[in-house]
Amino acid sequence: MGPSKSHIFIFLLIISIFSSPLSSADITTFIYKGCANQKFQDPSGISSQNLQSLYETLISQSSTTNFYNTTTGNPQLTTSVTGIYQCRGDLSNSDCNTCVKKIPETIGKVCGGDTIAARVQLDGCYLRYEVVGFPPAPATELLFKQCGSGRAGGSGFDSRVESALGQVVNGVGNGKGYYSGEYQSVYVLGQCEGGLGDGDCVNCVKSAVENGRSACGSSVSGQIYLQQCYISYTYNPNGVPGSGTDGGGIQTSATETGGGDGRHNTQKLVAIVIGGLAGLFLGIAFLLVLKSGFKKKKEKHSYGPYGGY
């Protein structure tokens, strides 16, 4: 019974390891922050109370919808606080809630708990708030950009990226304000803030694309965040996992490092690799269990009651 039990234990252990969720660590990865220099001015602490109420409301709503905005307190007073969150369009309600719950704590660490306006972007969501009367930023104001350290050479790279980003511009006008897809080994993603209409969304994404192409040039990846939209792209010379395409002769000169470049694409690749390894080990464990069972059956029929001696 010893070998059989050990094999079954290994079999169950592998199942538990490979069935563990991986997404929460990725979607709560910190991307950037924006913090106002001014602090709450009311000695009564009403602004701080309103901020906490705002957090509670936004977190509660994030378990049912991926976009929500509201104001807590009297909108006529400067002690009231308005806020908004948005989750990436492909997240489930559960993952959205997990992501949004992380942000108040993060704002407290990187901005302090009493700044009059703050914004934190994680990989899967963002949240911003400001006191009523705080001057709003233009929809297309550049907040953050990041270009991959890898560079692509050879003919055709620029046109591929241009075409892929063109798909984002067209895709976000679908009424949902979110698009992800692939074009010849370039994985792209774009999203607008939920309150934007289709026309404003398309214009915002166009501005993000222009910023990205200007800032990132031949980088194999880029992330551009504007006030009310963002885009990202990643070129994978071996093809986007699952796309069945290859790099078509375009070569990269360095490996991407740091800062979450190509994170969405990497998540897909990791999932595929882990799935493959899980299948392999499960198959091996299953065969070991069968082998042990056949061996015992054979021993039972080959020897007498005293082991044949």
> If you search the block for the tokens 């001057």, which residue do you land on?
135
Could you give the percent of the chain with pLDDT greater than 70?
Answer: 68
Q: Which two tokens stand for residue 45?
A: 């602490």
User: Which of 76-80, 97-101, 292-296 shows the highest mean pLDDT?
Assistant: 97-101
Report for 25-29, 99-103, 170-174: range of highest mean pLDDT: 99-103
Find, among 162, 213, 203, the residue nearest to 183 by Cα: 162
Range from 201-215, 238-252, 280-294 carrying the lowest mean pLDDT: 238-252
pLDDT confidence tier of residue 136, bands split at 50, 70 and 90: confident
Please determine, for residue 262, whether its predicted confidence score (pLDDT) is greater than 60. no
What tokens does 307 get? 């082991």
Compare 292 and 156 and report the one with higher pLDDT. Answer: 156
The model scores a pTM over 0.85: no
Around 186, how many Cα atoms within 13 Å sit in the side-chain half-sphere?
A: 26
Residue 42 burial (CB count, 10 A): 14
Per-residue confidence (pLDDT) for residue 309, from 0 to 100? 27
| Local confidence band at 291 (pLDDT 50, 70, 90 cut-offs) | low
C-alpha–C-alpha distance, residues 198 and 172, integer Å? 7
Taking only Cα atoms into account, the Rg of the chain, rounded to an integer number of angstroms, comes to: 26
pLDDT for the residue numbered 212: 94
Task: Report, as an integer, the average pLDDT of 63-89.
Answer: 95
Residue 155 pLDDT greater than 80, yes or no: no
Please give the pLDDT value at position 32. 96
Res 236: pLDDT = 84
CA 41 to centroid of chain Cα atoms? 36
Task: For residue 98, give the amino acid letter.
Answer: T
What's the pLDDT score for residue 97?
A: 98
Where is pLDDT greater, at 129 or 267?
129
Q: Quote the pLDDT of residue 86.
A: 98
DSSP string computed for the chain: -HHHHHHHHHHHHHHHHHTS--HHHHHT-EEEEEE-S-B---TT-HHHHHHHHHHHHHHHHTTT-SEEEEEES-TTSTT-EEEEEEE-TT--HHHHHHHHHHHHHHHHHHT-TTBSEEEEEESSEEEEEEETTPPPPPTT-EEEEEE-S-BEESTTHHHHHHHHHHHHHHHGGGTTSEEEEEETTEEEEEEE-TT--HHHHHHHHHHHHHHHHHHHTTBSEEEEEESSEEEEEEE-TT--TTS----TT-EESS---STTTTHHHHHHHHHHHHHHHHHHHHHHHHHHHHHHHHHHHHHHHHS-TTTT-
Q: How many Å apart are CA 112 and CA 68, to the nearest integer? A: 23
Q: Give the pLDDT confidence score for residue 24 in this predicted structure.
A: 58
Q: Are 258 and 221 in contact (CB under 8 A)?
A: no
